[in-house]
Structure 1
Amino acid sequence: MSATEGFPQYRKDVQYSRESSLNTLEYCIPRPTTRGTKQVWVIYVHGGAWLDPEIDASSFDKAQELLFKSHMIEHIAGFASINYRLSPYPSHARDPSHPSDPARNARHPDHINDVLAAILHLQETFRFEERYILVGHSCGASLVFQVAMKRYWGSQYESTLALELNVVPPVAILGVEGLYDLPALVEFHSKEPFYREFVANAFGRDASTWPSVSPTAGDYENSWQDGKLAVLAHSREDELVEWAQVDHMHKALKSQGFDEASGDRRLKLVELCGKHDEVWQDGLELARAIEATVQVVKNLL
């Protein structure tokens, strides 16, 4: 990227890893940045139950367009949206996965490895360190809190540990319509087999392992010591993910020192409007949640 180029500057299909065709990201820089700025990056991780090929990094485009027109844009240094490898979905009606495709046969911790690799690529390129808000929708909300969990997922996952040691966690996390307690999610939807299926595709069929990988199990007091803000944004009109997921995550964060009223570790709830995917499809509610998060963060830096 040339320093003489005009702004805003957009880049798509930026490869951050050679694992697969889905290891790409896109980013936008609204204006030249100045040294010592308190502006933050906004980094988005899309949803889609870890397996939907029709939801990708472009799902952030509408919200990004709206944020450009927002009064909060002066506090934002850049935007990025991450693609990552997906779990198998051979029954997808329009784009079924194939066993030979490395982009469509991911299992935990592949998804979080990819998100960590993408963040590391951005941090090494733009040197913003902890000055970013990590935003995730649905399973993307699981992934962004897993970044803060910084959990060593076992001896066979040494690459995850290496990435975690190098990635600087964000100053703030925003979960939107999030999946936070996987066993509770599957139990709540026990009459809908697809929920158990997509969780098993992503994390394996041994349900005894699901509690420990859930964001509600995070030891954030130790793993995210410098985190200043956790935001949970959710719509009561969400037809796919029940409000109980917010209650479980809110309780977990409150028990570890995050407080809605005061303190160094703030907790915020944002009630959205619309169905599960509507909150990002027109961008309005997703942008509103990000604005609310930036509003708090700008006073914490």
Structure 2
Amino acid sequence: MTATDVFPQREKNVRYSDRSALNTLEYCLPQPWRSSRRLWIIYIHGGAWQDPEIDASSFGNAQDLLMKSRELEHIAGFASINYRLSPYPSHPRLPSDPSDPARNAHHPDHINDVLAALHYLQDTFHFSHEYLLVGHSCGATLALQVAMSRNWAAHRESTQASQPNVVPPVAILGVEGLYDLPALVENHSDQPVYKDFVANAFGPDEAQWAATSPTSGDYEASWPTGKLVVLAHSREDELVEWDQVDRMHRALRTQGFDEAQGDQRLKLVELSGKHDQVWQEGRELARAIQETVQVIGSSIRGFLL
């Protein structure tokens, strides 16, 4: 960057891997880098691991609002990640093709892509744990799976055996998240689509669903540097019930995350709106991020000074 660079700087369709056409990300640098104590905000979209109509651009409205917020002074950059999707041959407008590597992913392909994207960003912009990882719906699953990532290192694709280490984030924000997959499927046993998309992404073995669920994470071992988890959810969500939040909240509490004290903090943020309305309008997603940045600034020593 030079003194003549114009900000904000925005880039789309940035390739972080050559695995498929969906291995891209977009980023925005709102202003010149001035301090290592500024956060990156990195977003992972939802869509049940399979919906081609929800992608990295779904962060756009929330990002535009954050660009006008007072929290912007604490933000070094924004990024939004695309990743390979699971097959969806019955999609009414964009059915998947069995020959398309971008639309035939199964666990751990999705999380491997997110890890590759994070490595690209860390290597390009020279930051370490100074980022907030945000995920909506299955993106929240993926965000917490980053913190769990040691759990399936042995199951990575053979091409990922030498995957560079990714420094995990200082904080994670899950928005309308899927945290306990067996419970999600059970709670919607009268709606086969839930079992279908979970099995499509993780296979038919229910033990695998449990093992990969964020509620099963051993964060004391896999994410000892984690400082904050925020769970943001709307009681108006028509697709994902509050029970998912309760289960994730209990799992984190048993591992030392606490709302009131300690080095690992936990916060609940109640949102308003339907499941996708939260990101489509952007206001509630942006508010959840703003509140999370505020907690980081007030509760985590050495950040956002």
Q: TM-score range, shorter-chain basis?
A: over 0.9
1:76 and 2:72 correspond: no
Output the aligned Cα RMSD: 1.3
d(CA) in 1 for partners of 2:111 and 2:285? 22
Q: Which residue does 2:53 correspond to in 1?
A: 54
How far off its partner does 1:205 sit? 1.1
Which digits, 9 at most, give the CA deviation of each residue in 1:39-61, with x for residues without a partner?
10000000000000000000000
1:109: which partner in 2? 108
CA, structure 1 residues 191+161, in 2 after alignment: closer, same or farther (shift >3 Å)?
A: farther
| Cα deviation 1:218-275 (Å, max 9, x = unaligned) | 0001111011100000000000000000000000000001000011100000000000
The alpha carbon displacement at 1:206 in A equals: 1.5
Is 2:108–2:155's contact at 8 Å kept on the other side of the alignment? no
SS in structure 1 of the partner of residue 50 of structure 2: coil
Rounded Cα–Cα distance in structure 1 between residues aligned with 2:98 and 2:261: 50
Residue 278 (structure 2) pairs with residue 283 (structure 1): no
Residues 293 and 204 (structure 1), Cα distance of their counterparts in 2 relative to 1, 3 Å cut:
same
Report what 1:270 is aligned to: 269
- Say whether the 8 Å CA contact 2:133–2:169 is kept in structure 1: yes
The residue number in structure 2 matching 1:184 is 183
Three-state SS of the structure 2 residue aligned to 1:153 is helix
Structure 2 residue 193 is matched with structure 1 residue 194: yes
Residue 271 of structure 1 aligns to a residue whose secondary structure is strand
Aligned to 2:9: 9
User: Which residue of structure 1 lines up, in the alignment, with residue 248 of structure 2?
Assistant: 249
Residue 24 of structure 2 corresponds to 24
Cα distance in 1 between the residues matched to 2:191 and 2:88: 17
| 2:99 alignment counterpart | 100
Offset of residue 208 of structure 1: 2.0
Amino acid at match of 2:11: R
Provide structure 1 residue ranges, at least 5 long, that are not aligned to the other structure: none
In structure 2, C-alpha distance between the alignment counterparts of 1:147 and 1:160, rounded to whole Å: 15
- Alignment partners' CA distance in 2, 1:13 and 1:93: 25
- Code of the residue aligned with 2:54 in structure 1: it is I
Task: Give the conservation status (yes or no) of the 8 Å contact 1:113–1:159.
Answer: no
CA contact (8 A) 2:151 2:222 kept: no
- Correspondence 1:234-245 to 2 at 5 A: 234-245=233-244
Residue type of the partner of 1:258? F
Distance in 1 between residues matched to 2:121 and 2:272, nearest whole Å: 32
Residue-by-residue CA offset, 1:146-182 (whole Å, 9 max, x unaligned) = 000123426442555644x610000000000000000
C-alpha distance in structure 2 between counterparts of 1:145 and 1:98, whole Å: 29
Flag the 1:256–1:82 CA change in 2: closer, same or farther, 3 A.
same
CA contact (8 A) 2:272 2:284 kept: yes
2:208 aligns with 209
Q: CA deviation at 1:298?
A: 1.9
Change over 3 Å in CA distance of 1:154–1:263 after alignment to 2: closer
CA drift of 1:2 comes to 6.1
Give the TM-score of the pair, scaled to structure 1: 0.97
Given residue 32 of structure 2, which amino acid in structure 1 is its aligned partner? P
Look up the match of 1:233.
Answer: 232
The answer as to whether partners of 1:153 and 1:160 remain within 8 angstroms in 2 is no
Q: 1:3 to 1:192 in 2, by over 3 A?
A: farther
- Normalised TM-score (structure 2): 0.95
Note if contact 1:130-1:170 (Cα within 8 Å) is conserved in structure 2: yes
- Measured against aligned partners, the alpha-carbon deviations of 1:270-293 in whole angstroms (never above 9, x if no partner) come to 000000000000100000000000
After superposing the two structures, state which structure 1 stretch, 200-209 or 99-108, moved more: 200-209
* Structure 1 residues 122-141: aligned runs within 5 Å: 122-141=121-140
Shift of 1:297: 1.0
Q: Which runs of 5+ in 2 are unaligned?
A: none
Q: What is the one-letter code of the residue matched to 1:173? A: I
Alignment map for 1:143-154 (pairs within 5 Å)? 143-153=142-152
The equivalent of 1:64 in structure 2 is 63
The percentage of aligned residue pairs carrying the same residue is: 69
Q: Which residue of 2 aligns with 1:296?
A: 295
